[in-house]
Amino acid sequence: MKDLIAATLSGLCVVHCLATPVLLALGSSGLLLGMLSSEWFHYLMLLPISVLLAWSLPGGWCVHKRKAPFALGLSGFLVLVASLLAPHEAETALSLSGGLLLISAHLFNRKLLHKLRGPQDAAS
């Protein structure tokens, strides 16, 4: 279940990365858009992403003994961190790449756990 939550959160990150520039280009403004495009919101989103990454993928690694989901997840997280430090022109591309890597990592981890444990035990 934690992999599904983490993949969903990463998916929301991807949607945010796509929607904010589109809304800005269309001339939208307002409090919500201002909040979504602010720098602190990006740091705030990184907190649950990092917690879910640390909670889910190392535990999966210990069970299924496959390094790929952990490596994908760590790569995605590092790309997200790099997007916070990158020039504005590269921020969206890096954020999208990092989010997609994280989604892939969590879904792959879930698939491997599902294979080993069966559908009823893979939820944990």
User: What confidence tens digit (pLDDT) does each residue in 96-106 have?
Assistant: 999 999 999 99
Single pTM value for the model: 0.79
Find the distance separating the first CA and the last CA of the chain, reported in whole Å. 5
Domain coordinates of the chain in residue numbers?
A: 2-117
Each residue's pLDDT tens digit, 60-78:
999 999 999 999 999 999 9
26 — pLDDT class (breaks 50, 70, 90): low
Does the pLDDT of residue 111 top 70, yes or no? yes
Measured CA to CA, the distance from residue 71 to residue 18 in angstroms comes to 25
Please list the alpha-helical segments (H only) found in 29-67: 31-36, 39-64
Instruction: Give residue 33's pLDDT.
Output: 60
Measured CA to CA, the distance from residue 41 to residue 62 in angstroms comes to 33
CA separation, residue 35 to residues 16, 25, 83, 98 (Å): 11, 16, 18, 21
Q: Which two tokens stand for residue 75?
A: 């790569």
